[in-house]
Chains A and B, each alone.
Chain A
Amino acid sequence: MKKFILEKIEVPKGAANADLIKRLYDLGLHPGLEVEIVSKISFNSVTVIQYGSTRLALNEEEFACLHGR
């Protein structure tokens, strides 16, 4: 299972979706956080991530906002 440190949360290529970014923060995601990729499901389009005690399923567009190392 892959772990990474979140560096920034941003919509790729500057497409504006402020609400989405805000919602990811509302769920406790923030730069510096360690995030684990648990699995890729739904024909590889949904990513399940785990951070702290939270388990979250994100679709492609949402997961693409998480940039990390």
Chain B
Amino acid sequence: MSTWALVGSPNSGKTTLYNWLTGSKSKTVNYPGSTVEYNVGKLRAHLAERINDQEITIVDTPGVYSLTPQSEDEQVTHDVLYTQHNVDSLNGVIVVLDATQLSRHLMIAKQIVDSNYQTIFVVTMLDLIEKEGSQIQLEELKNELGPNIVLFDGILGRGLNEIVDLLPVTPANDEIFHHENWDIEKHTQVIQWAENLAAKTIVNRNEQKSAAHFTNQADKVLTHPILGLVIFFSIMTLLFASIYWAATPLMDLIDGLFSSAVAVATENIPGLFGEFVGNGFIAAIGGVVIFVPQIFILFLGIGILESTGYLARVAALIDKPLSMVGLGGRSFVPLLSGFACSIPAIMATRNITSKKERLIAQSIIPFMTCSARLPVYALLIAFLFGDENPLLAGLVMALMYFGAIVVGAIAANIISVFVNDTTKSRLIMELPLYRRPRFGYIFMQSLSKAKSFVVKAGPIIFGLALILWFATNFPRPEVVEGQEPLSAVEIAKDSYASEVGQAVEPIFRPMGVDWRVGFGLISAFAAREVFVSSLALMFNITDEDEDAAQQGLLAAMKKATFENGEPIFTVASVAGIFIFFMIALQCTSTVGILKREMGSWKPALMQLFFSNLVAYCLAVTVVFVLKSFGL
């Protein structure tokens, strides 16, 4: 058995190679610093066959500019190489070098060679080199680095077998040297060695055909000082609005399917159980599944942006505006991934060098509109604007996303008062070559994300449906002979749920909602998106109008009233729910990750407490003000 670590400069193609070797589906992104945690995988069986089925472990690591770490992600790689309590002791290192950036990437190669590890050198991006018509003089490289060098094409996987054949070499070297900081003279010497070697290795470049040529042209527009910003805001607005616009047809389709499923279930399964399956469980699942197209479009959009190389440009473009709230360009990508999910986003702050900036970024990521908030917003927007003006509804959706950034900025300002660290933010952002997005790959990744969204919410919704169904149907009143049996609504009125509901209602009344919505708000602490499901459940079961249950959630919301007949969902109460969801920290996994990445419970728990307190107080205030305007 032997273990190899993939090490190299950021964006050199390590994760791409890791996926080829192990069959994993780790995310590859055209942005320097996409991997921030090490990953361990086994060599795929059909590859291992080539080397007598030896067991080979591959470790993917975050990209590094030097083996002396300057950020948390580089520390991870450093620890994999030198402390070894994380992974089995390494037999060697596969140094991954991007052929289009060879001279710079050779500096890491030199540091690994000096460390005394067994090495294999993989020169990636073979396809790009071929396309620009360059030749690679492998002999020149071999003279300097030794014989174990393989050319690799990460798109088609050419060269994979040659890499595998080199894996079972001699046992590990015992003595491993740490990288000594080079002084300036030595550093300059190494750079010049690398430049010369690269120039001798890659020859006959055709500048016009190279990927760099296209990149330079595109950058003239995309990173234009003014036009660049306009393009960026247009792209973002279009993405956020099309989450609403593009998904509508698919959502209608899903809605139709679930409505018929509910009808089939309630008509064919007799009694209470049929009610539970149809109006309870199926309707609740439908409540969330209907938002899957939106989530898919969101991931698709982010995925395309990530793979082009554009995000590094945006980071540079908005460095200055971000610096006004104590952040910097490096925070942009983590914040953007916060629109998908806080957890990887908080981890992505590891490549922010400045401690202060990292802490602020970590604290405001939970305010970004994560995909679990999306169903809630979409439902509320559809309620307010959907029917009359779908175009406007899409723009309001975009506004909600920009609103999250405003909330984040305010929070950042508050937090930066408490962080007493004066180090300036670091940008130093490499702008990678633009690449054509691999649509098939991005499509599959987005699909699997959307799927896992449902899979995650499914069991929670099932549990919730069960509890709510029980709580609203019991205790069963005695059926007195000669009297009509009580209707579901009447049963619900005296049920356990109602009892508990009435007890907690005073908490939610100031937000302008009744206990049923209150239950929804509480259930959102299990997973935000469950809010829509529990609303669906609550109103299905307790609605006076038997037909309303079949008409979907929006119709039920429009009809829902307090006991005195006043409508529950008004502009004021919906705005209150919006505000609450924008600010509240309902996700326990986020709190856990905050603790891990910030290093202690205190800031994480403070954030939990204050976010929810502020969310509630602000929601109550907004509802109060709007109500006094008669909204």
Q: Does B165 contact A (CB under 8 A)?
A: no
Rounded to whole angstroms, the CA-CA distance of A48 and B420 in the bound complex is 30
Contact in complex: B319, A46 (CB < 8 Å): yes
Complex partner residue of B431 from A52, A55, A61, CB under 8 angstroms? A55
B-contact 0/1 string along A11-51, CB 8 Å cutoff: 00000000110111111101110000011111111101000
Contact in complex: B104, A57 (CB < 8 Å): no
Contact in complex: A25, B191 (CB < 8 Å): yes
Complex partner residue of A41 from B66, B223, B312, B425, CB under 8 angstroms? B223
Q: Does B509 contact A (CB under 8 A)?
A: no
Rounded to whole angstroms, the CA-CA distance of A39 and B541 in the bound complex is 62
Q: Which among A48, A55, A58 has the greatest number of chain B C-beta atoms within 10 A?
A: A55
Q: Which residues of A contact B426 (CB under 8 A)?
A: 20, 23, 59, 62
Q: Does B215 contact A (CB under 8 A)?
A: yes
Contact in complex: A57, B181 (CB < 8 Å): no
* Majority SS at the chain B contact face: helix
Rounded to whole angstroms, the CA-CA distance of A23 and B329 in the bound complex is 17
Contact in complex: B191, A46 (CB < 8 Å): no
Q: Which residues of B contact A54 (CB under 8 A)?
A: 101, 104, 430
Q: How many A-B residue pairs have CB under 8 A?
A: 118
Could you tell me the distance in whole angstroms from the C-beta of A66 to the nearest C-beta in chain B? 12
Q: Which residues of A contact B219 (CB under 8 A)?
A: 38-39, 48, 55
Q: Does B225 contact A (CB under 8 A)?
A: yes
Complex partner residue of A27 from B212, B425, B428, CB under 8 angstroms? B428
- Given A26-B65, A28-B104, A41-B223, A59 and B319 touching (CB < 8 A)? yes
Q: Which residues of A contact B458 (CB under 8 A)?
A: none
Interface size class of B (residues with CB under 8 A): 35 or more
Residue of B nearest to A56 (CB): B430
Complex partner residue of A56 from B184, B424, B431, CB under 8 angstroms? B431
Complex partner residue of A59 from B70, B191, B427, CB under 8 angstroms? B427
Rounded to whole angstroms, the CA-CA distance of A61 and B354 in the bound complex is 13
Rounded to whole angstroms, the CA-CA distance of A30 and B107 in the bound complex is 13
Q: Which among A32, A39, A53, A58 has the greatest number of chain B C-beta atoms within 10 A?
A: A53
Rounded to whole angstroms, the CA-CA distance of A27 and B223 in the bound complex is 21
Contact in complex: B187, A42 (CB < 8 Å): no
Contact in complex: A59, B431 (CB < 8 Å): no
Q: Does B228 contact A (CB under 8 A)?
A: yes
Contact in complex: B225, A44 (CB < 8 Å): yes
Q: Does B68 contact A (CB under 8 A)?
A: yes
Contact in complex: B328, A59 (CB < 8 Å): yes
Residue of B nearest to A33 (CB): B191
Q: Does B100 contact A (CB under 8 A)?
A: yes
- Given A25-B184, A39-B223, A46-B320, A57 and B431 touching (CB < 8 A)? yes
- Given A45-B319, A62-B427, A30 and B192 touching (CB < 8 A)? yes
Contact in complex: B329, A57 (CB < 8 Å): yes
Q: Which among B194, B219, B425 has the greatest number of chain A C-beta atoms within 10 A?
A: B219
Contact in complex: A41, B317 (CB < 8 Å): yes
- Given A43-B320, A44-B225, A62 and B428 touching (CB < 8 A)? yes
Q: Does B188 contact A (CB under 8 A)?
A: yes
Beyond A25-B188, A57-B312, list 10 extra A-B contacts (CB 8 Å).
A23-B426, A25-B182, A27-B104, A42-B320, A44-B225, A46-B317, A55-B430, A59-B329, A59-B425, A59-B428
Chain B residues close to A by CB (< 8 Å): 65-66, 68, 70, 100-101, 103-104, 107, 181-182, 184, 187-188, 191-192, 194-195, 212, 215, 219, 223-225, 228, 312-313, 315-321, 323, 328-329, 424-431
Q: List 8 A-B contacts (CB under 8 A).
A: A28-B104, A41-B228, A42-B318, A42-B329, A54-B101, A54-B430, A57-B430, A62-B428
